[in-house]
Amino acid sequence: MLIDQENIEQSDLRQMPGQHEADDELQTTPASEYSHSIRQRQSEVDGNFSRIMTVLNRKRAQVICQRRIYHLLR
């Protein structure tokens, strides 16, 4: 069974539906919008990390205090 090479090449050139529009959108969106979006997301992540560390440090301090009180009362 022989495969028609020309048909394969033509099918490789066809794009998926909607692909052309997505490519156009990527080319027309300014890089500054992407960098702003990335900076905004990084700021959100940093804020979340900061809140998590604050809670963990608070819990750690509570455990330390509880251990000290336990040892004092023994």
Paired tokens of 6: 């020309």
44-63 per-position pLDDT tens digit:
999 999 999 999 999 999 99
Q: In this structure, which amino acid lies at residue 35?
A: S
- pTM of the predicted protein model: 0.47
For residue 34, the tally of other CB atoms under 10 A from its CB is 11
The domains of the chain are located at: 42-74
6-47 per-position pLDDT tens digit:
555 555 555 555 555 555 655 666 777 788 888 899 999 999
